[in-house]
Amino acid sequence: METENKTTEQTTPVAPASAPAASPVAPAARPPFRDSRPPRGGARRPQRPGQERVKPEFDTKIIAIRRVTRVASGGRRFTFSVAVVSGDKKGRVGVGLGKAGDTSLAIDKATRNAKKNMIKVTLSPAMTIPHMVEAKYSSARVMIMPARGRGVVAGSSVRNVIELAGIKDVCAKLMSGSKNKLNIARVAVRALSQLSKHPRTIK
């Protein structure tokens, strides 16, 4: 009996030890999404540290843009005509006209033309005109007179010419029915250029 018991004990299968439970592995963190597309409007040039943006000497205001159509043998061709007023708000102002197939190129041409035809306005120490002036250009006619304490009272492109010239306390009156802003701006410049020809001042 003892021998049979020993044999039974030896032949009894032993259950294998259970393997340790595998620990859950956390999923790898995904890198943040980065858009590789370039920004709208084109890539901007990075600004160097310590480099400040230089302010232009003259301020420019666009007063008229026209699209001109010319019929050629191959079809219609379009060009742009741009009129601008440039000034430093210290007594210098000019009107320019530029024509090109692209608006940006036409604006550059008009700006260069305005700087080329710039005049120096004779102003009083209070940055106003010393007396009344009147001028005529083509069908446009304007009268500009000093108006103490009233600010700039003007309309159309005459106001752009006066503001870019830095003139204060004036009143402008259009004496014609012309709607051509280029001619109105040119007649305003012509009137301001006559200030040096009148030594007598009006109080």
What is the CATH T-level fold of the domain 59-197, as seen in this structure? Double Stranded RNA Binding Domain (3.30.160)
Closest among 143, 123, 132, 133 to 184, alpha carbons compared: 143
Give the Cα separation of 195 and 123 in Å (integer): 8
The tokens of 178 are what?
């012309």
Beta sheet of 92-100, edge-to-edge order: 59-72, 75-87, 92-100, 119-120
Q: What angle do CA 175, 187, 124 make, to 5 degrees?
A: 100
Per residue in 112-152, pLDDT (tens digit) is 999 998 999 888 888 888 889 999 998 899 999 998 888 88
Question: If you count them, how many residues does the chain have?
Answer: 203
User: What pLDDT, in 10s, does the model give residues 180-199?
Assistant: 999 999 999 999 998 864 44
What does the domain layout of the chain look like in residue ranges? 59-197
**Residue 17 above 60 pLDDT?**
no
Q: Which residues of 172-184 are buried (b: 16+ CB within 10 A; e: fewer)?
A: bebebebebbbbb
* pLDDT digit string, tens, across residues 83-118: 999 998 888 999 999 999 999 999 999 999 999 989
Specify the pTM. 0.67
Which residue type sits at 92? Answer: R
